[in-house]
Structures are given as C-alpha cells and as structure tokens.
Amino acid sequence: MELTVETSILNHDHSKHNHAGHGSGSHSSHTHDLSGVSDRRLLWAIGLNQLLTVGQIIAGAVSGSLALLADALHNFNDAMALLVAYIARRVSRRQATKTFTFGYRRAELIGAIINLTALGMVGLYLIYEAVMRFLEPKQITGWVMMAAAGLALVVDIATALLLWVMSRGNLNVRAAFVHNLTDAAASVAVLVGGLAIIYGDQYWVDPALTLAIAGYVLYQALTMLPQAARILMGGAPSRLDFDELVQALEDHEDVEEIHHVHLWQLDESHDTLEAHVVIERSAAERMEMIKKDLKGLLVDRFGIDHSTLEFEFPDEQGDVPEHVGHLAPH
C-alpha cells in the first residue's frame, strides 16, 4: 500500500488563494497577472489604440504610405494584446469547476497564440508588399503621412502615460508600457520618412520603413510563440534546471530517491510539480516534516508553489502502472 501525503495543487476558489506567505524567494512574488491594475485605464489604452488604428489605415490609404499601414496593423496588434490581457484577467477570476479543474488561467495563452499567429502572417504580408513597392514605386502624399504619424506619436505617448503608473510592480503592464515607447519611436521614424518624401522625393524610405516594422513584428511573433506553445504543451519552465531540481530534493537526508517527476506551467507565473518520494520505513513517522521541508525548498529555491508529493517505501515502487512515466535524472 502506498502512503500518500498531499495538499491539492488546485484551489477551487483561485480568488482566495494567497501566496504572500511563501517568502521573498517565491517566484509568485514576480507575478505576471494584472491584479491591482485599473480596468478603466486599460480600457482607455485599448480604445486609444483602436482609434489610432482606424485613423492610420484611412491615412495610409489616402496617402499611399505602406509604412503607415504597417504601423496601423502593429498598433492594432498592441490594442488586441491589451484586450486579451483584460479579458483574460476577467475570465481568470472565475472559480475552477468540475469541468475546468485548473480554472481558466490559460485563457490569455490561447488568445496570445491566435494573436501572434495573425501577427506573423501580417509581418510576412508587409514584407511582400514592401518588396513590391521597391520594384514598383508609388506616389505618396508626404504631408498626410506626417500628419498621421504625428497623431500616432501623440496617442502612443498618451497610452504610455496611462500605463506608466500601473507599470510599476506589474510585468504585463510594464511590457505594454515599454512596447508603447517603441511604438512612439516607430512613429518618429515615419515622421522622418514623411520629411524625406516631401523635401527629397525619397520614396524608397516608405518601403524601407515598412521592412523595419515588419521585421520587428516578426521578431515579436517568433520570440513569444514558442513560449506560449511550450506552456500549452505542458513543457517544463525554461527558467528551471530539471536535474538541479531533482538533485536538490534528493539531497534531503531522509529522501532515498525522487522519480516519476512531472514539471509544467499552469500559466506564465504558476509552476507545478508532481513527484514520487522514496523514503525508508524508519522515516515514516517524520513524513509530515519531510513533506514540509521539500515543499518549502520548492517554493523558496525554485518558486514552485503548487506541488504534489506522493510518498513510497523502497519495496513499493513497483506498484505504479507501466504506462506512468518513469522520468528521473539517474
């Protein structure tokens, strides 16, 4: 008979789950969620970027500037990313159910996968259009291009100001804040491109700027897609060394072996582990203390605040069905 000592990784009311007591070493102290962030400020930021997108598309069509259209699609993606984060924040407040026992933490990841895939397709399309513009240059109305870029710069700065106060202590919003600063830089580049067209008839600047924006868009998609896919596929957190983690658990004086180790992420900020812990029968009376030590180690050293530890004696390891993974570093 196996002896199982465990506290569930699931809290049926995630809104009441508090990790504040896990100490300064806990990864959860660096949460990526949007708790404490003003819904109104986020909605204003989303609205401003959506209005900017519409204005830039119209101005891009009127002026013939491909760079404006590229920046418009980029701003649209920014607004959608904020919207996904906002919706995911609302959805994640829902309690876990018998159907969704892990809750709704991955709603944001699903949205991110869709958003980033679309972003990659847009980036490829912009590269194609920029190359065609190099081959067949078109007339561009520089003053319309500059006016739209100036408006975009104002909106980018306004959005950054809305997010600046919220960005302190919140990585999601901080990332959006930095992103808006780069958008402002792109708007400045388009302004310079407009000047080059008005005063120097340098129409090649427009597709060149488009290539630069498209390259940045593709870089974002290719950087973030693997991370989101890794989490959805149940991959181990990239920040953790699997062998080091298992060795740290096995270094406990009462632990004979750690096996059947499974390490994955519920979302960007919540890592989860389950493992079988082999101890001698003589240590059975200290099982609760061993469990407390191991869980404390996982939280303080590795930032894993959800763990399932199943205890076994050496002569009981054969009780596990063959289809269960036997992953261990030795």
Residues 6+ away with beta carbon under 8 Å from 228: 109, 112, 113, 116
C-alpha distance from residue 233 to each of 102, 137, 226, 230, 251 (Å): 15, 45, 10, 5, 30
pLDDT in tens, 49-58: 788 888 888 8
- Span 193-217, average pLDDT: 81
Domains annotated on the chain, with CATH? 3-14+22-27+236-319 (3.30.70.1350), 38-232 (1.20.1510.10)
- Span 282-307, average pLDDT: 93
**Phi/psi of residue 106, each to 5°?**
-90, 10
pLDDT (0 to 100) of residue 190 = 80
25 or 170, which is more confident:
170
pLDDT in tens, 223-236: 878 888 888 888 88
**pLDDT > 90? residue 109:** no
192 or 322, which is more confident:
192
Residues 6+ away with beta carbon under 8 Å from 122: 73, 77, 217
pLDDT in tens, 133-150: 788 777 777 788 788 878
pLDDT (0 to 100) of residue 311 = 94
Lowest mean pLDDT: which of 23-27, 32-36, 159-163? 23-27
d(CA 308, CA 39): 35
